[in-house]
Amino acid sequence: MSTRRCPRCQATYPAPARYCVKDGALLVEEAGRPAVSPRPRPHPLRLPDPPDPRSEAASPHDPLAPAPDPASTLSGKTLDRRYRVGKRLGEGGMSYVYRAEELETGRQVAVKILLPRLSRDPASVERLRREATIAMRLDHPNVCPILRLGETPERLIYLVMPFLEGEPLSEQETRRGPFSVSEGIPLLVQVCQGLQHAHELQIIHRDLKPENVMLVPEGKVAGGEAPRYRAVVMDFGLAKERRAGPEVAKLTATGIVLGTPEFMSPEQIRGKPLDGRSDVYALGVLAFELFTGQLPFPGKSAQETMIARLRGAPARLREVRPDLPARLESVLLRALALDPAERFGSMNEMAHELEGVVATGVLGRLFRR
């Protein structure tokens, strides 16, 4: 088993540990290469515009210009004789995402295309196939499933998902600021319900954050009423089955996307075995930010917040927003417990306690129906 070293205190750890538990430093392989590349949290989510094909730098007559990536130029084309590809919605470390129309049915879908350079990497292809295999088992209104895994004659590997009309929770947070209790609790309960479904299938998300929760408008809104949303948990690309074998564990430990540091549980930072209580912790971080607009641990960088999570207690919710209920503060403190044994044992248990925050009002009566 390979070992990794802290460049500050020289302590060593077995893989897949990524950060030093003493000072939070990014570990390096014994050969000196960083174990992972630190990635800033993409909040708010803003995607770069594609290069202008009319620019001189992109001119096909420029012999020094790089060849266009076939996965990045699919708009207006037909993919695999099945999907008419429309607007590109975004891109990540492993893929491009497009809106498309399924030719046979006319329904709108989202298509995730693996980057061509990664389609030649067996580990990356296996990660995508594993994502599809896991997510095809999901069937819940608060979880986004995978509909199809395909490969074109040109060796483009893709996933097809339902297209959801809505926006990520992160964008709503950025635009409108902290949520009220009456608006935030129903969304958190729905996230709990979606993750409970995944956990019952022995699937842990491992990368829960506002960017991975889509808010889908539900029904028409009368004048003066706040819109109602359905929360849908997205992107099970880091998901892991608790019963997975060593080959899957190896893939997860060496994969390109390693989670978002600000939302990782202490055991995930340490590279320890995970269960559903790690998602409980991440939801606690998400909920704290939802109601306050800030993270529950102090720090000027992701590394500093990781150190705070490993060493100290989270900020108290009502120190930031005194108007919030004491019971909500108690719920989040339990979700953010350093020891997994002190957290909620299931998402259903956390949902029940969240509902209890508003159980005496009209919203609580609606939950009990």
Q: Which domains does the chain have, with CATH numbers?
A: 1-37 (no CATH), 71-162 (3.30.200.20), 167-368 (1.10.510.10)
| Cα angle value 79/211/187 (rounded, 5°) | 115
Comparing CA positions, the residue from 40, 37, 65, 39 lying closest to residue 52 is 65
pLDDT attached to residue 303: 78
Q: Work out the pLDDT band at 305, boundaries 50, 70, 90.
A: confident
pLDDT over 90 at 10, yes or no: no
pLDDT over 80 at 245, yes or no: no
Among the listed ranges 7-11, 36-40, 340-344, which one has the minimum average pLDDT value? 36-40
pLDDT over 50 at 38, yes or no: no
Task: Indicate left, alpha or beta for 159 from its phi (over 0: left) and psi (-120 to 50: alpha).
Answer: beta
Among the listed ranges 37-46, 147-156, 159-168, 349-358, which one has the minimum average pLDDT value? 37-46
pLDDT over 50 at 343, yes or no: yes
Q: Work out the pLDDT band at 300, boundaries 50, 70, 90.
A: confident
Residue with tokens 């099945």: 82
Active site residues: 207
Name the E strands within the chain: 3-5, 12-14, 28-29, 78-79, 83-91, 95-102, 108-114, 148-151, 157-162, 167-168, 203-204, 213-217, 229-233, 240-241
pLDDT over 60 at 103, yes or no: yes
pLDDT over 80 at 172, yes or no: yes
Q: Is the pTM above the cut of 0.85?
A: no
Helix (H) or strand (E) holding 200: helix 181-200
Highest mean pLDDT among 65-69, 114-118, 125-129, 329-333: 329-333
Q: Work out the pLDDT band at 45, boundaries 50, 70, 90.
A: very low
Q: What is the mean pLDDT of the chain?
A: 79
Percent of the chain at pLDDT exceeding 90: 44
pLDDT attached to residue 119: 79
pLDDT attached to residue 35: 47
Among the listed ranges 86-90, 187-191, 225-229, 328-332, which one has the minimum average pLDDT value? 225-229
Our CA dihedral for 289, 293, 297, 300, rounded to 10 degrees, sits at 130
Mean pLDDT in residue range 118-145: 84
Q: How far apart are CA 88 and CA 271, in angstroms?
A: 35
pLDDT over 90 at 130, yes or no: no
Mean pLDDT in residue range 245-251: 37
Are 355 and 182 in contact, with CB atoms under 8 Å apart? Answer: no
